[in-house]
Amino acid sequence: MKANCAWFSGSLLFSMAGEQKLARHLAVGDIHGCFNALRTLVDFIGINSNDTLITLGDYVNRGPDTKAVLEWLIRQHAGGQLIALRGNHEIMMLNARENADAYKIWLDVGGRQTLESYAPFEGGNGRISDIPDEHWDFLENNLRASCETDRHFFVHANAYPNMAIDDQPDFMLYWEPFQFPAIHESGKIMVCGHTSQRSGLPLNHGHAVCIDTWACGRGWLTCLDVDSGMIWQANEACETRRMFLDDLKEG
């Protein structure tokens, strides 16, 4: 059963109290179908019209409402404030549509929950054919491998330290666990997801930060303002908390 949380709008909430808001780059970790956590987080942050939202992939599978998550992301992408990266779970979902063996693997890594979110009636199992073309198009054509700002770069999983971001192989971008990455040759800070931090806290090495904090388990969905270091978190129970990245720094 899907929990219900208070929600004011189907689109981003803008804080427009008369003053000009500073532009922020807001990175969001692995959502995994956790729509209650996502919409609670967006409300908690108070996103304004100057912000750029960078989602790090793994929107689908495991959590209870992949359908609602993708519908929300599609709306925000159309509005121009969202940069959506690709995760390995999007790759597995796309492969499942084309190959019977890949379909079986996908079901075991959260695909069953994804299909249930598309079922035409409550409690149904759902089928691949229930997923609308608009969602497939978003997954195929609107997700990016990476993005960069002046001081940061964003990937789903990881990156070789001695290779340009645009040249990184797929297995690093989408599959390689976050352990103790070296400083990237660009000097930029890497922000990634993929490797679940079951403590519920981001893992901060200074030059590299992992913000997958196990939203689909018993953890939190994390948003990081990469410029200020402010962290906001929400979970499926609609609880919230915040902290600063510097307080979490590890060697």
Question: What is the structure's pLDDT at 75?
Answer: 97
DSSP 168-231: --HHHHHT---SSPPPPTT-PEEEE-SS--TTSS-EE-SSEEE----TTTTS-EEEEETTT-EE
Going by pLDDT thresholds of 50, 70 and 90, the confidence category of residue 4 is low
Question: What is the structure's pLDDT at 20?
Answer: 61
Does the pLDDT value for residue 143 go beyond 60?
A: yes
Question: What is the structure's pLDDT at 204?
Answer: 97
Does the pLDDT value for residue 8 go beyond 50?
A: no
Structure confidence by residue, pLDDT tens digits, 238-248: 999 999 999 99
Return the domain boundaries, the chain.
Answer: 25-248
Question: What is the structure's pLDDT at 250?
Answer: 76
% of the chain exceeding 70 in pLDDT: 92
Going by pLDDT thresholds of 50, 70 and 90, the confidence category of residue 123 is confident
Structure confidence by residue, pLDDT tens digits, 88-120: 999 999 999 999 999 999 999 999 999 999 999
| CATH class, range 25-248 | alpha beta
**Chain length of the chain:** 251
Is residue 114 within 8 Å of residue 93, measured between CB atoms?
yes
Angle at which helices 66-79 and 35-45 cross, to 10°: 40
